[in-house]
Structure 1
């Protein structure tokens, strides 16, 4: 019963983050799976990909209906990341758990600092060149594959800073990127899915899907800058905790 409650609570938080911010779900899912539900780092990254993929698809439909998805930019960004995501996923199994956890915490901390330093939401949109967008997408795909994260917590700043999207459009478009990258990474981990504890993963997914709908409604009511800063602080705290744990 304790496992079920923890999975439901953690799933709701992850879904809320994905729905409201277009990212951060996997950054929260991985530590929740490790510290609350007892998953190994490798199993946690695989389970996080499953959770984030299903939740992102759900959230994406709502944001697309609201007109907040830039399909062309998102598909270009995601297409460049598919290959690196699959390669990174293949390499992840050979990386020690402590190294994987430490790398995860460093990337998460960097993303948190970047989000805290980001300026106010811009009024208009501009689109970066395809080469720059593809380069950013490839890097994001590699991170997705190795660390088992959908990449939204990195995609949103990149879509705003490199592709010039406004915050709400970046949130919706990042969900498209997350879905494609996560599916690419999962393609090489399909043989290990049966090893997951589905008694914990299934309720986690269910709560996350429901939380994503609430997150989408929240994003329409709260200023994007406020949401981003609150999440960045929480992300930074999680990153510091995981880094200390990995080192000690």
Structure 2
């Protein structure tokens, strides 16, 4: 059984901090930690990350809800379709080898970075970055928002990415949700999607509950800090820095898997 070390706990806390401040990025950090630090296989890391991120996101969404940053109406439109897609993606994962799964994960990180860099600028131009104004759920057809939910859900199930960096641009640009509400609403949706994805891996992996409990506890400490400091952090600047980090991590994971495939 894998022992949880100090490095695991520190990285878990940093993952929670990112999730609390950005409303996403938990799995983008958790999967590489579980693979390259803890030494789990890709399939196990994807499944375990869904459990960790689901619990952490639930805890973080409560803090955002208390601060008035959860839009329940939008969550109820986007969420069920995302949950359905996540369960389907988890069941489809049996058709992917570990190298293919990690390569797809790297590709999703690069796409997420692009969404973060372009989505923030587009939101600014559309005047949607502030806290004022109510959500315009009808800004785009509901069917479009539902399709986005299914697509993000399938990606979540396949590679363990909670989808926050894909959900948030969709909520801001398609549903017209202010940025801070998008963060809190994203955490609520990620909670439901992660639970569905983890259920989809039932019977495929053996769960190290002791390790996951300790890692999740560290992540919870991080998300508590993140939900408290989010009001003081310049969101656009933080998103740009994290997008650069995503690009670096995506290229690293992709390069590792290309080398593995060539051996």
Q: Is TM (by shorter chain) over 0.5?
A: yes
Q: How many residues align?
A: 247
Distance 1:2 1:51 in 2: 16
Q: Which residue of 2 aligns with 1:50?
A: 51
Q: Per-residue deviation at 1:93?
A: 2.4
Runs of 4+ with deviation above 4 angstroms: none
Distance 2:184 2:159 in 1: 22
Q: Which residue of 2 aligns with 1:214?
A: 225
Q: Which residue of 2 aligns with 1:156?
A: 168
Q: Which residue of 1 aligns with 2:182?
A: 170
Is this contact kept in 2: 1:159–1:170, CA < 8 A?
Answer: yes
Is this contact kept in 1: 2:85–2:149, CA < 8 A?
Answer: no
- Which has the higher Rg, Structure 1 or Structure 2? 2
SS of corresponding position for 2:75: helix
Q: CA-to-partner distance for each residue in 1:93-143, whole Å, 9 max, x for gaps?
A: 231000000001011101102212231353444323311111111111111
In angstroms, what is the RMSD of aligned CA positions?
Answer: 1.6
Output aligned runs, 1:66-105, within 5 Å.
Answer: 66-105=67-106
Between 121-130 and 69-78, report the one with greater CA deviation: 121-130
Q: CA-to-partner distance for each residue in 1:72-100, whole Å, 9 max, x for gaps?
A: 10121011122221111011123100000
Q: Which residue of 2 aligns with 1:201?
A: 212
Between 147-156 and 20-29, report the one with greater CA deviation: 147-156
Q: Per-residue deviation at 1:175?
A: 0.6
Is this contact kept in 1: 2:4–2:214, CA < 8 A?
Answer: no
Is this contact kept in 1: 2:83–2:193, CA < 8 A?
Answer: yes
Q: CA-to-partner distance for each residue in 1:176-200, whole Å, 9 max, x for gaps?
A: 110111111122223345x133343
Distance 1:191 1:94 in 2: 15
User: Could you list the runs of 5+ residues in structure 2 that have no partner in the other structure?
Assistant: none
Distance 2:174 2:143 in 1: 11
Distance 1:197 1:187 in 2: 15
- Give the TM-score, by structure 1 length: 0.94
Q: Does 1:35 align with 2:45?
A: no
Distance 1:113 1:141 in 2: 18
Q: Which residue of 1 aligns with 2:9?
A: 8
Q: Which residue of 2 aligns with 1:146?
A: 158
Q: Which residue of 2 aligns with 1:245?
A: 256
User: Could you list the runs of 5+ residues in structure 1 that have no partner in the other structure?
Assistant: none
